Copies of this chain bind each other. A is one copy, B any other.
Amino acid sequence: MHACPPNLPRRESTAERRVAIGLAARALIIEKGVEGLRTRDIAERVGINIATLHYHVPTKEALIALVAETIRHDFRAQAMRRPRDGKTGLEVLRLEFEEFREIVTETPELIIILTELVERGRRDPVIGEIMLPLYDFWRNQFVDIFRLGIRDGSFRPDVDPHAAALIVTGTLSDFWRAWTDFSASIDAVFTQLEHAFTPPIALQG
Contact = CB atoms under 8 A, between A and B. Distances in A.
A199 B73 CA distance: 42
Nearest to A31: B123
A34 B122 CA distance: 13
A136 B135 CA distance: 26
A33 B32 CA distance: 16
Contact of A203 (B32, B158, B160): B158
Contact of A171 (B123, B166, B197, B200): B166
Given A166-B175, A167-B167, 20 more contacts: A35-B35, A115-B119, A135-B178, A139-B178, A156-B195, A158-B203, A160-B192, A162-B185, A163-B191, A166-B171, A166-B185, A166-B189, A167-B171, A167-B192, A167-B196, A170-B172, A170-B173, A170-B175, A173-B174, A196-B197
Looking at chain A's contact residues, is the secondary structure mostly helix, strand, loop, or mixed? helix
A180 B132 contact: yes
Nearest to A172: B170
Interface in A136-193: 136, 139, 156, 158-160, 162-164, 166-167, 169-175, 177-178, 180, 182, 185, 188-189, 191-193
A118 interface: yes
How big is chain A's contact interface, by range? Answer: 35 or more
Contact of A174 (B136, B169, B182, B197): B169
B160 A191 contact: yes
Interface string A3-47: 000000000000000000000000000001111100000000000
B158 A195 contact: yes
Contact of A192 (B163, B175, B177, B180): B163
A118 B119 CA distance: 12
Contacts of A200: 200
Interface in A35-75: 35-36
A180 to B, nearest CB: 7
